[in-house]
Amino acid sequence: MAKDLSKVRNIGISAHIDSGKTTLTERILFYTDRIHAIHEVRGKDGVGAKMDSMELEKERGITIQSAATYASWKDVDINIIDTPGHVDFTIEVERALRVLDGAILVLCSVGGVQSQSITVSRQMARYRVPRIAFVNKCDRTGANPARVTEQLRDKLELNAHLMQLPIGLEGDFEGLVDLITMKAIYFDGENGEILREEAIPADMAAEAEEKREALLEEISMFSEELMESLLEGGDIDPQLIHDAVRRGTLALEFTPVFVGSAYKNKGIQPLLDAVSSYLPCPTDVVNHALDLEDDEKEFPVSNDPDDKLIMLAFKLEDGRYGQLTYVRTYQGMLKKGDTVYNSRTGKKVKIGRLVRMHADEMEEIDSCGPGDIVALFGVDCASGDTFTAEGISASMSSMHIPEPVISLAVIPVDNKAQNNMSKALNRFTKEDPTFRTYVDHETGETIISGMGELHLDVYIERMKREYSAAVEVGAPQVAYRETITMQAAFDYIHKKQTGGSGQYGRVAGYLEPLEEGEYEFVDEIVGGVIPREFIPSCDKGFQKSMAKGSLCGAAITGVRAVINDGNSHSVDSSDVAFQLAAQGAFKEAYMKAKPVIMEPIMKVAVEGPTEFQGAVMGSLNQRRGMIIGTMEEGNYTVVEAEVPLSEMFGYSTTLRSLTQGKAEFTMEFATFKQVPKSVSEELVKKFQEEKRND
C-alpha cells in the first residue's frame, strides 16, 4: 500500500554551535521512543548523546558529521538529519538542506542569533527551506526568548513570532503558555514525559492575551477565514490558526518560534507537534531533476511511488560493514534486490541491503518510497550521485560546492601509514566534496585542502583514529590562484630530432581571461593543419600547464586557450609532441598575458562586548581587512569585515587576548581577489627562492 506522504516530514536541525542541537535531537529520540535513556553530550556517564556517533564528536562535544535518524511522532514519520554548527562543515548543512523539506532552527536563548545562524539562515533561504525556530536553553542565566525573537526579525529578517511564552526563566523556568490553546503546559515525570495542562498563571494572563492578539493579527494575513473569524469576534477554531501558521510557514513568510530547554526536558513535545503541524510534507515542496536526455532541462519530480525511481545519494559514511550511502527518494519505489543506475557513471548497481538509520544503529527494511531518507549498503558511489530506475536518465540538480581555500601537506611516517592514509583520503574525498587531495609532483608530498583549519584538523584526526594512519602535518598554506588579465598570442614549435624518431608539433593561437569557470579550450583549427587526433593532445598540454603557475607556483584558473593554427609532420608528430608544443605555447604566452596572483578572501564576523569594538576593528585592519560595517546591539557589537585568509592564521589567539576571551568570530569564504603588489612580490620572491633551493 502506498504511504500517505502527508504524514512524512524530512527535517534538519541546524544552528549555531553549542546552541544545543544535539541535546535537542537526543530528547526528540527519547520522546519518540527511539531511545530509552538520555545521555548528555558531554555527560558524566561516558556514553555521549546518541547522534554524536563519531568518537571525535563525543570528545569535542560538537557534531561533525550529520547523522540521519528516523523517528515517529503520533501518526507522523519524521526523518531527522542532525547538522553541524561550525562554518567549516557547512557542506554538511548544505547537503542536508538540499534533501530536506523543512528545518528547525535552534537558537540559544542567551546567545541568540549569532553569525553562524545568519550563515545557516542564508543557506536555508537558498534552498527555500521553511523553518520553525526553537529558542533553547531557557533555563540558563540571561535567557531572553523575546530578545532572540526580535533578533530573528532584525538580523535574519524573518517574520518571527512567539507561539508560546515561557513561564519563568533561567532557574525559575517551569513550563510554557501555549498562545493557541491558551493553556499553561508543565512537563512532569523524571524526564518531562508527562504533560500537565493548567490554566495560565494569573500574573501572565494579560501578557498572554496581548501576545495572542498580536500573533493572530499577524497570521490572519495568511487566512481569510481566520481574518473573518477575528472580525466577527467570539471563539476562534484552533484549526484555523494552525492552518494559517502552516500556510505562512510554507510560503517562507512566517516563522513560528517555540521555547524550551532540551536539557531540562521542557518544550520538546509541543515542538514535535509543531513539526507535524507546520513543516511541509514531501508533496508540499516542488523538487526538480534534470533530464539528461533533453539538454538537462529541469522537470519536477512526481513523488509518485508508481513512477520510475529517482533518488539522490547525499551522504556517505564508512562504517564497519563498508560504505553506507544515505539517499533521499524523490519518486518511485526501491526494493531490496533491485538494480538501479548511477546517472553519473552509467553503472548498474544492485541494492543488497536497505536500512533505516538511527544514529549508529540500523533497522533493516524491505523497501522505501518517495520522501523517504534511508541508507544503502555496499553501493560504490560519490556524494551527490543520482540513482534511477532503468529507462530514465535524470539527475537531481547539482549542489552548490565551494572551492577549498586552505591546504596542507600530510606526510605518512612509514609504509603502513602510507597505505592507511591512501584508504582514508579515498574515503574522505568521496564523502565530502569540499575536501580535496592531490600529490604535488615536484615535492612528492600529499596535499589536502578544504574549507578551513578546523575542517582539515578533523580529517587529520580521523585519519589517525579511524585508519591508524600516523602522519606528520605541514603548516597550513593558503590556496592561492594565478590568473591572466589580458589576451596574449602564442606560436610555438616543439621540435626534437636527435636520433631515432623525432618530435614535431606547432601550435598557434592565444590565451585570454575567462570570466566564469576555470578553463576552456577552443579549437578553431581549419583545414586540418593540426590533425584531429592531436587536438585533444593540445588540450591536455594546456591543462597540464594550468596545474602550476610560474608566478608563485599556484594553480592557474580563468583561462581560455584558443588554437587557430599549427603544423604537423607526417612521421614526427605524436600525442606527446603536441602536448609538449601546447605546454611550450602556454609558457610563451602566459607572462605576456599579465598574470596576477589571487587570494581567498574570507567574510569574517566578530561578535563581542562593545567595549572591545575598537580593538577588534584595529586587529582586523592590521590583517589587511576591509571593515564592511559594525552592528551595535546594546552592549554587544558585531564587526563584519573581509579579510585575506592568509592573515587569519592564529586570529583566535589574538582575539582571545584582545577581548579577555569575551569575543568570538566566524569566517566563511567570500571570494578570490587579486593580492596587493607588495604581497605579490613577496610570494614571487619566496617561490623563486624555493625553486633555487630545490
Partner 1 sequence: MGKEDLISSNPLRVLGLDNKAEEGRQSLGLVMARAGLGKTAILVQIALDSMLRGNRVLHVAIGETIDKTRDRYDDILAKMVEDLNEEAESDLSRRRMIMTFKENVFSRAMLEERLQDLIEQDVFKPDCLIIDGYDFDGNGRQAMEDLKQLMAELGISVIWFSAVSHREDPRVSADGVPAPCHTIDDLFEVVLLINPQDNVMKLDILRCAYCEVEPGTALLLDPSTMLIQKS
Binding site for partner 1 (CB under 8 A): 154-155, 157, 613-615, 617-618, 621, 626-634, 640, 673-674
Minimum distance of partner 1 from residue 669's CB (angstroms): 17
Cβ partners under 8 Å of residue 20, min gap 6:
106, 108, 136, 137, 262, 263
Classified as helix, coil or strand, 487 is coil
Between the alpha carbon of residue 317 and those of residues 396, 424, 437, the distances in Å are 20, 12, 18
Residue with cell 586557450: 561
**Residue with smaller CB distance to partner 1, 292 or 615:** 615
Phi, psi for 374 (deg, rounded to 5): -135, 180
Classified as helix, coil or strand, 80 is strand
| Gyration radius of the chain's alpha carbons | 29
Minimum distance of partner 1 from residue 111's CB (angstroms): 18
Minimum distance of partner 1 from residue 632's CB (angstroms): 5
Residue ranges of E strands in 497-579: 503-513, 519-523, 555-556, 559-567
Cα–Cα distance between 360 and 545 in angstroms, integer?
Answer: 46
**Residue with smaller CB distance to partner 1, 489 or 615:** 615
Minimum distance of partner 1 from residue 627's CB (angstroms): 6
**Residue with smaller CB distance to partner 1, 147 or 308:** 147
| Chain mean position to CA 591 | 38
Cα–Cα distance between 266 and 28 in angstroms, integer?
Answer: 11
Minimum distance of partner 1 from residue 664's CB (angstroms): 18
Minimum distance of partner 1 from residue 654's CB (angstroms): 14
Cα–Cα distance between 143 and 160 in angstroms, integer?
Answer: 18
**Residue with smaller CB distance to partner 1, 345 or 485:** 485
Of 210, 279, 225, which is closest to residue 249 (Cα–Cα)?
Answer: 279
Of 336, 319, 399, which is closest to residue 99 (Cα–Cα)?
Answer: 399
Give yes or no for a contact between 604 and 665, defined as CB atoms under 8 angstroms apart.
yes
**Residue with smaller CB distance to partner 1, 630 or 654:** 630
Cα–Cα distance between 331 and 306 in angstroms, integer?
Answer: 8
Minimum distance of partner 1 from residue 187's CB (angstroms): 35
Minimum distance of partner 1 from residue 585's CB (angstroms): 28
**Residue with smaller CB distance to partner 1, 632 or 681:** 632
Cβ partners under 8 Å of residue 244, min gap 6:
219, 220, 222, 223, 226
| Chain mean position to CA 276 | 25
Cα–Cα distance between 406 and 395 in angstroms, integer?
Answer: 30
**Residue with smaller CB distance to partner 1, 572 or 633:** 633
Minimum distance of partner 1 from residue 681's CB (angstroms): 17
**Residue with smaller CB distance to partner 1, 67 or 598:** 598
**C-alpha cell, 518:** 576555470
**Residue with smaller CB distance to partner 1, 523 or 633:** 633
Minimum distance of partner 1 from residue 639's CB (angstroms): 10
